[in-house]
Amino acid sequence: MRLSDFKGIFKTSKVEFISAVNIDEDYYVISLKKPECLMWRPGEHAIFTLPGNKVAGKKYRAFSIASTPEEDVILLGTRTGKDVSSFKQNLINMKQGELVKLRGPFGWFTLQDSNSPVVFIGLGVGVTPFRALLKSFDQQENRNLEFIYSSSNVFLFKDEINKIVEQNDKFNMFYTRTIEETNDAISESARKYVNKAFYYIGGSQKAIKSITKLLKMNGIKSKKIINDPFLGY
- Domain residues for the domain of 223 are 118-230
123 and 213 share one domain: yes
**Residue 115: partners with Cβ closer than 8 Å, 6 or more residues away:** 142, 143
* CA nearest neighbour of 63 among 11, 118, 100, 24: 100
Pairwise CA distance, residues 151 & 141, whole Å: 27
What pLDDT score was predicted for residue 5?
65
| Mean pLDDT by groups of 10 residues along the chain of 233 residues | 68 95 93 94 95 90 94 93 91 96 93 93 93 81 90 92 87 95 97 97 92 97 88 51
Final residue in a domain of this structure, among 50, 85, 106: 106
pLDDT for the residue 233: 46
The secondary structure of 72-124 as a DSSP string is: TEEEEEEE--SS--HHHHHHHTPPTT-EEEEEEEE-S-S---SSS-EEEEEEG
Q: Are residues 98 and 179 in the same domain?
A: no
Contacts of 52 (CB under 8 A, 6+ apart): 98, 99
- The last residue of a domain, from among 57, 75, 106: 106
Q: Return the pLDDT at 138.
A: 65
**Which CATH number characterizes residue 77's domain?**
2.40.30.10
How many domains does the chain contain in total?
2
pLDDT at residue 82 in the model: 84
Domain boundary among 106, 137, 160: 106
Domain assignment present for 112? no
